[in-house]
Amino acid sequence: MLERLRQDLEEVPEHRSGRNTQYEIADAGLGAFSVFYMQSPSFLAHQRDMQRKKGENNAQGLFGVERIPSDGQIRNLLDPVEPSALYGRFWEIYRRLDECGYLEKHRGIGGTRLISLDGSQYFSSQEIHCPNCRVSVRDEKPYYSHMVMMAVVCAPEQEHVICLDPEFITPQDGHEKQDCEQQASKRWVKRNAERFDPWSATILADDLHCHQPLCELLLEHELHFIFTCKPESHEALYEELALLERVDGAISTKVVRKWNGRYHERWVYRWAEHLPLRADLKSLMVNWCELTITNEATGQQLYHCSWATDYTLDEDLVVEAVASGRSRWKVENEGFNVLKNQGYNFEHNYGHGQQYLSMILLTLLMLAFLFHTVLGLSCSMYQMVRRELAARRTFFNDLRALTRYLYFSSWQQLLTFMYYRLDLAPEPG
């Protein structure tokens, strides 16, 4: 994966003029990636010290950085690099995972691939800004920010999400209004729909995206959808639903009793078909379902949510639709939450720049997250070391300490060192 990432960076067009080309763009990109992968802002500084003292360093041994640029040089070299230069790396990794069978359990309704979309802010300032900033006004002062649309492959009951290429929410040429999540999601779909066989993927998103233009775009590209659908933003649909409530059997119901280990829960599924997504004659007709979970003994409501979908539902498929729809939260819980709170420092300003710096750095950070996910899915030695050390923090603390004081010529050597020092190797004979 690292070698392919280097190849991508080496193919970035040279943007410098003159003779000041001491450091390669690829070394700047891999250097930034190493900081995110190790979850250590000081990693490169420690490797410069190791190089001076020992004549070798882990930035080179582990990440292939030939010459370590300074932080300022990395920012200058990467600022003109568009993040799209690295988008292919996400899809190459996804394809390899799929071909090798590591994504067999990452499927949802009807055996389709579930893709969850969601947006989040990753930079904000009242002073620092660039042409790609979103601008709003607070207390009569400009407020600058960056947002990104994240896409992940997810599935019910699966711990890992597979990060796909991001779509940055920026002002677009020819648009007077600020860009928004809905426009970003459309661009992501148009760019990537052809990567999936017809009707082999289901797009998941929150209520913000449950509107006709996006739904029609997905159907046009032969993609299914399951979107959260709230009453306050879909008045026409729920007015029609209220009329159906008055007709016996117009709304289908299925009740399931489940034991959660402490008490019985009552799961009530309801669904109806051919409801208008908006209030006009050209409205797209969708199918609707909801799940309400209550404590059987007390009647206390534990959960409620509803969705709009293009799937034709029955007693079996409604259960699959709800399970897949609930997986939408994985982009937040196993995606953004991990990136913000588990050492990646998603919202930290690593560098803003004047062109694409904040975006290319975030793309490299997301690739680091993806690389860790791949190891968690495919590398038994990595899995055993992580399981033995238990806490994510402990694992990365050990990585940082080892690579500060000891030199490793490859990742295999480092993992093998940890594996044997933790006494994880089976006893001979």
Domain map (residue ranges) of the chain: 2-78+379-421, 84-340
**pLDDT, tens digit, 9 for 90 and up, residues 236-265:** 999 999 999 999 989 999 999 999 999 999
User: Model confidence at 55, in pLDDT bands (50, 70, 90)?
Assistant: very high
What's residue 15's pLDDT? 80
Say what the pLDDT of residue 18 is.
Answer: 63
Distance CA 288, CA 290 (A): 7
* The predicted structure's pLDDT at residue 136: 85
Please list, in sequence order, all residues whose beta carbon lies within 8 angstroms of the beta carbon of residue 23, skipping any fewer than 6 positions away: 67, 69, 73, 77
Does pLDDT of 176 surpass 60? no
Q: Which pLDDT belongs to residue 10?
A: 94
Average pLDDT for residues 21-33, to the nearest whole number? 92
Tell me if the domain spanning 84-340 has CATH number 3.90.350.10. yes
Query: What's phi and psi for 244, nearest 5 deg?
Result: -65, -30
DSSP secondary structure letter of residue 201: E
CB neighbourhood size of 127 (10 A): 7
pLDDT at 152 over 90: yes
CB 274 within 8 A of CB 239: no
Dihedral sign for Cα atoms in the order 136, 139, 142, 144? negative
Strand pairing category for 224-228 and 301-309: antiparallel
Pair 357, 75: CB distance under 8 Å: yes
pLDDT of 355 reads: 92
C-alpha span between 253 and 288 (Å, rounded): 12
> What is the spatial distance between Cα 114 and Cα 101, in angstroms, rounded to a whole number?
16
The per-residue pLDDT for 170 is 83
Average pLDDT for the chain: 93
Share of the chain above pLDDT 70, in %: 97
- Tell me the pLDDT tens digit for each residue of 91-144: 999 999 999 999 999 999 999 999 999 999 998 888 888 888 888 888 888 888
Q: What is the mean pLDDT of residues 143-154?
A: 94
What integer is the mean pLDDT of 146-156?
Answer: 96
Question: Exposed/middle/buried for 273, CB within 10 Å: 0-12, 13-18, 19+?
Answer: middle
At 326, list the tokens.
């609930």
For residue 347, name the pLDDT band (cuts at 50, 70, 90).
Answer: confident
Under 8 Å between Cβ of 132 and 170: yes
Residues 376-414, buried b or exposed e (16+ Cβ, 10 A)? ebeeeebebbbeebeeeeebbeebbebbbeebbeeeeeb
Sign of CA dihedral 102, 392, 119, 291: positive
| 51 vs 46: CA distance, rounded Å | 9
Best CA proximity match to 265, nearest among 307, 234, 298, 225: 298
Which pLDDT score, from 0 to 100, does residue 120 have? 93
pLDDT at position 175, please? 55
| Distant-in-sequence, close-in-space partners of 347: CB < 8 Å, separation ≥ 6 | 121, 122, 123, 340
State residue 348's pLDDT score.
86
- Residue 179 clears pLDDT 70, i.e. is over it: no
| Separation CA 155–CA 97 (nearest Å) | 15
User: Which range has the worst mean pLDDT, 12-26, 43-57, 63-77, 201-215?
Assistant: 12-26
Q: Write phi, then psi, for 256 (nearest 5 degrees).
A: -125, 135
383-405: pLDDT as tens digits: 999 999 989 999 999 999 999 99
pLDDT of residue 139: 83
Pairing label, strands 252-259, 141-154: unpaired
Neighbouring CB atoms inside 10 A of 93's CB total 21
CB 189 within 8 A of CB 223: yes
